[in-house]
Amino acid sequence: MEYRNLTTLITGASAGIGEEFARTLAAKGTNVILVARSVDKLSALAEELRSTHGIRAEVIGSDLSVPGAAASLVADVDALGIEIDLLINNAGFGTYGDLADADPARIRDEVSLNVAALTDLTTIYVQRMTARKSGSIINVASTAAFQPVPHMAVYAATKAYVLSLSEALWWEAKRHGVRVLALCPGATDTAFFDVAGSDDAAVGTRRSTRQVVDTALSALEAGKPSVVDGLANQLSASSSRLAPRRAVLAVAERAVRPR
């Protein structure tokens, strides 16, 4: 798959997996539009990518958990006169703790960002891509998509939605020459658990963001509907579909229980 001179829209691009996608694709000659709330971080990254790789790097500040923000983002991209070849829906966050103790406003924002904004952007861009019969979408799900996760119930449910949506869309879009991939990373070396409120969760060995991005791009090039990053995570995802549900819940709870 040739990436040079394509343009990629990356949400959640200021850190972690989103930042790694930006760095990796820029090194391949891809122009990038970086989206996140933190404009200062995005601007510094964009300047680095421009000077290092000679690509076009644009910055758009946006809180996609706000209703209507996805449509506003598309309007901002259109105002730049840029056609999107690859959409990477990476923005998202989790909340650690029992739902009975959660802040309803935070949960609403979590669902709005992880589900609603992702769906809005996916819908708009898959329609444009199918019309021109080219383009690709990577939706970042999680290994949490494969089973319910006590203490992170809403997060796991949102990622199950992302996986289901993306795999179904892969089938719908492939006949139009459009690739869709659900990327399912496990524990990764990012600030995810800090944001979720449980940095001491017993999640095991964390994969690097570069490993996750390399896995994603290889799977996209192979035309896969979904991919789980890392052999251990692949085995866990497969076993969760076969084991009794109570056993699955017990294992999932133990995996995120604080050390």
pLDDT tens, position by position, 153-203: 999 999 999 999 999 999 999 999 999 999 999 998 765 555 555 555 545
Q: pLDDT class for 206, splitting at 50, 70, 90?
A: confident
- Nearest-angstrom CA–CA distance, 11 and 53: 20
Residue 1 lies in a domain: no
**Greater model confidence, 256 or 168:** 168
Q: Which of 27, 14, 25 is nearest to 53 (CA)?
A: 27
Could you tell me the CATH number of the domain that includes residue 40?
3.40.50.720
Residue 2 lies in a domain: no
Q: What is the pLDDT of residues 129-150, one digit of tens each?
A: 999 999 999 999 999 999 999 9
Residue 115 lies in a domain: yes
Quick one: how far is CA 116 from the chain centroid?
A: 13
Residue 216 scores a pLDDT above 70: yes
Q: What is the pLDDT of residues 18-70, one digit of tens each?
A: 999 999 999 999 999 999 999 999 999 999 999 999 999 999 999 999 999 99
The answer to whether 229 touches 136, Cβ cutoff 8 Å, is no
Task: State residue 29's pLDDT score.
Answer: 98
The answer to whether 226 touches 166, Cβ cutoff 8 Å, is yes
The answer to whether 69 touches 95, Cβ cutoff 8 Å, is no
Task: State residue 198's pLDDT score.
Answer: 55
Residue 226 scores a pLDDT above 90: yes
Q: Which of 251, 237, 138 is nearest to 202 (CA)?
A: 251
What number of other Cβ atoms are within 10 A of residue 64's Cβ? Answer: 27
Task: State residue 259's pLDDT score.
Answer: 64
Q: What is the pLDDT of residues 234-248, one digit of tens each?
A: 998 998 888 989 999
Task: State residue 258's pLDDT score.
Answer: 74
**Residue 230: domain span:** 7-256
Residue 104 lies in a domain: yes
Pairing of strands 86-89, 57-61: unpaired
Q: And the tokens for 74?
A: 């598309």
Residue 56 lies in a domain: yes
Burial of 37 (0-12, 13-18, 19+ CB in 10 A): middle
Q: And the tokens for 48?
A: 């680095």
Is 96 part of the annotated catalytic residue set? no
Looking at the structure of the chain, the number of domains it has is: 1
If you average pLDDT over residues 219-225, what whole number do you get? 99
Q: pLDDT class for 89, splitting at 50, 70, 90?
A: very high
Q: Catalytic residue among 3, 96, 125, 155, which?
A: 155
Quick one: how far is CA 216 from the chain centroid?
A: 10
- Nearest-angstrom CA–CA distance, 45 and 57: 9
